[in-house]
A and B are shown apart, each in its own frame.
Chain A
Amino acid sequence: MQRKMRGRGMAASWYGIARTATIDRAGAWAELDDGGTAKIVTGVTEIGEGILTVLAQIAAEELGVKPEDITIGDNDTARSPEAAHAGATRQTYMIGNSVALACREAFARLVAELADHWDVEPDSIKAFDGEIWSEGSNFKTSMEDAVDVCKKRGVVPVGSGSFTAHGTGLDPEDGSGSPWQAYVYGCQVAEVEVDTVTGEVQVLGIWAAHDVGRAINPRGVEGQIEGGVVQGLGQALMEDYQLEDGHTKTHGFAKYILPTSLDIPQINTVIVEDPDPKSPLGAKGIGEPALVPTAPAIMNAIYDAVGVRITALPATPEKILAGLASLKDRKLQSVEAAE
């Protein structure tokens, strides 16, 4: 065996979107505001996944304004409608759809006034990027003017939205039930190099293909996948919270080892879009599912490279070396048996 051995492995995965085995819900308010800007109020704040930008994109698309002209009210139980928790891969699905519904109501209110003002059919009115027009006519104006017209007619273009995902509980005896209305699937391939002298594993490449329903912001989806892969890599190779009689032995980052810039494989993302038919946007989610297949893909790649099957995470150098040593023993024994 050479010192540095390479191999590849793959793993597939699936995941459910939004809360498990229950009805999930989220609400939002929207207002087309003066100057052609807009306000969205919903109980959510950024946890890093990019939700504020995604909501601004959704609102911009639905209202016909620019994303940077959207103001999003912060998550505050006394000031904004319930959107519940930032988790369960539910933000884009639950809150994104509730924002879309709220915006549609606000936009419809504006359109009703403008259609009457222009004397055109409401269906003919379209808006994008701060402009609003009636198709098949010469009527076209800025969103700023359109809001002004609407307000001068005595109407504030506001809307609210509530989105529901219909999961059902599991039967306590046989577990049957429909826990989610939307599922996503993923598959990752890992390429590793194993140093057979030190037992160290380097992940050199990850190919990550994930169905997200519809990518609102593809770069943001990539960011979620890259972050998920690296958390999966950390769990696969180095992270280990250790206790001894209930006392932690890993109480800082010198002992609890995390992936840093030198551990990062090239991550090649493929976004697959199978739109969700049960929601206005068709988007599903990616936050959690991104890291599900990473660790098993890496373990399968280690086996491919050196024939060591790691069944207990993480695959530390010590475990790799122990695996290599027992392989060697087994080979010797089989040689002796043959003799």
Chain B
Amino acid sequence: MSDFKLDMEVNGRRVSKHTAGHLRLLDFIRDELDLTGTKEGCGAGECGTCSVFVDGKLVKSCLMPVAKANGAKIETIEGLAGTGVLTPVQRAFHKTGASQCGYCIPGMVMAATSALRENPGASAEELKERLGGNICRCTGYTKIFEAVEIARDVIAGRVGTQALEPEGAGDSYIGNNVRRLDAPSKVSGRLRYAGDMTMPHMLHMQVLRSPHAHARIVSIDTSEAEAMPGVECVITADDVPGEDGFGVFVHDQPIMARGSVRYVGEGIAAVAAENVETARRALSKIHVAYEELPAIFDPEEAMQPGAPVIHEYASDNIVKHIPIRKGDVKKGFAEADLIVEETYQTQQVEHAYLEPEAGIAYVDHDDVVTVISPSQNITHHRHMLAKIIDKPINKVRFIMSPVGGGFGGKEDMIYQGMLALAAMKTHRPVRLVYTREESIISTAKRHPARITYKMGLKNDGKITAIQFHMVSDGGAYGMSTEGVMRKAAILSCGPYDVANVQIDTIGVYTNNTPSGAFRTFGAMQAQFATESHLDICAERLGLDPFEIRRINMMRDGAFTHTKQKLGSVSLDEVLTAAETSSGWEAGAPDMRGPARKDLGGPGTREPCSLGARFEASSGKSKRQVA
């Protein structure tokens, strides 16, 4: 690591510093200058959260070696408004609610600022193109587009600055578009997420991960790593003083692999060192001997007799089976005029929150083990950690840092235990920040599902019976699988009044990346099947899709598939709202797209072809001239 002297201007101030030559501009800005408004989302130039201006040009600072920025003029999110009032772009983001978790927002504000500096008169379509290098996982971009257009018009003087002002109080704060209270801290980059936090005397953690999907750990030799200068401790499963197991429903996952590994990417040991580089180098000095075991990657195969067993307690590899029975499906199918069968599949999906997992742990003056992290469930985490480290509950403290996107992915206590153990062993604060790749390969996904569906209907569209069977790959650990199977089962057959149902959802262990909680918790997979299936049946019966749903929908006082009596059911109102607002033209779903008259209306955008935006708009004006 050769040092060199760097001179640059950052946010209008001269910076002159000796720094390490291998740093990226992003590292220098964040770690050396403590300007943490510039975030790291992927480290590969793919997400845009680290966008800054270098000599006036928008640059992804994770892709630029700091040496290349020597002598340059750098502008970061902190420099846009300084300590004064927010810029019109920032105020517009505040006004429209364009920030949700806020993690992508500094980069998004920089990209929007760049777009308007480069073309103050950019059309809505051109602005979308110019924001194309910045990923947002929360907002669906719509409020961001709205904000940038307002800012453009304010800057150009086409509308007054009142467009940036909040709406009035009216006579109630309920039903009022109060601007988000957290937005100023997010649009200005002031808000610190766990990975932006530092503590005096802090150590940095890195995790050794399994290269095997299923293997017995014969031995772990940490001595060489522990002897390295700058390494403060190495922890393994042997350092766990209490009952080692976590999970949302079944505590089947150790803090670090204990005796065996069950998926690629599973944590085996962790190093806490004076800096990230040393911790990373120390990982290569930990020697693990494995004995590979037969692995299983398909949930159907995992349920076959003789399949490799992944957890001793579950010899059939089944995490959970949820059955729901109502009425008599045999009778229901016998009454049907039409029986339709189909198989559906959904894939594993990554949460892709822009904030990778991060946290800091320390032991305080009262011996309270404290973990600061973007955990979506600190209440449950403290119960589990107390058992794992064998402490009373009031000696374990969890603080929830601002969450840069969760979607269920931060409900699992996947790394907080390692941080706590290292803090206890060293009595120093320890921080861990995942890389994007680490986040993707090692954390839970949306459960994939295979659903076999059988529905019986009368000719008038009334459903007489449904048989719903779903097998889902839970991966190597239980995590939220039981709950996901339960929710999928309860909601599977949709908001329809069906006398006879037979529902089974089965979550299965495999040696794949674990599946866990993900926004909708199984409901999306199940209802994808039901809603596709209803359209197939509607075509066969010559019914409009809204009509077949109305014929079967639950009404006030209906009984659900689990025989719960409902109160008010708003489904009819909701169907009508969608039907009316879209101007839906009624008809059976028999590929009538080419003949429809309700297409291309005011609720749609123009289609686009990639890279053709700028030309398309000028081409359009030429045609208008002609």
Contacts and interface: CB of A to CB of B under 8 A. Distances in A.
Contacts of B128: 261-262, 264
B495 interface: yes
A220 B179 CA distance: 9
Given A246-B297, A264-B128, A86 B264 contact: no
A303 B581 contact: no
B403 A86 contact: yes
Interface in B256-272: 263-265
B159 interface: no
Given A84-B377, A267-B142, A48 B405 contact: yes
A240 B527 CA distance: 19
A210 interface: yes
Contacts of B581: 207, 209, 268, 270
Contacts of B564: 176-179
A205 B598 CA distance: 12
Nearest to A57: B173
A178 to B, nearest CB: 4
A97 to B, nearest CB: 13
A79 to B, nearest CB: 8
B408 A87 contact: yes
Interface residues of A, number: 146
Interface residues of B, number: 157
Contacts of A241: 347-350, 440, 445, 513
Interface stretch (A104-112, A143-151, A229-237, A331-339): A229-237
Interface in A29-72: 43-50, 52-53, 56-58, 60-61, 66-68, 70
A175 B322 contact: yes
A217 B177 contact: yes
B323 A9 contact: no
Contacts, number: 488
Contacts of B213: 245-247
A49 B100 contact: yes
A221 to B, nearest CB: 10
Interface of A: 2, 4-16, 20-21, 43-50, 52-53, 56-58, 60-61, 66-68, 70, 74-78, 82-88, 128-129, 170, 172-179, 183-189, 191, 193, 202, 204-205, 207-211, 214-220, 222-223, 225-232, 234-235, 239-243, 245-248, 250-254, 256, 258-262, 264-268, 270, 272, 274, 277, 281, 287-289, 291-293, 295-297, 299-301, 303-307, 309, 311-314
- Give me the 3 closest cross-chain CB pairs, A-B, nearest first: A7-B593, A48-B101, A246-B213
Given A53-B182, A227-B138, 17 more contacts: A6-B596, A13-B523, A16-B490, A53-B180, A82-B379, A170-B486, A204-B607, A223-B138, A232-B524, A243-B513, A254-B44, A270-B577, A288-B523, A296-B532, A299-B528, A311-B342, A312-B344
28 contacts: A8-B598, A12-B574, A14-B495, A15-B520, A21-B490, A43-B379, A53-B180, A76-B400, A87-B376, A174-B324, A184-B570, A189-B578, A205-B601, A207-B578, A209-B577, A210-B574, A217-B177, A223-B140, A235-B349, A242-B348, A250-B350, A250-B440, A252-B42, A260-B133, A260-B135, A261-B134, A289-B523, A313-B346
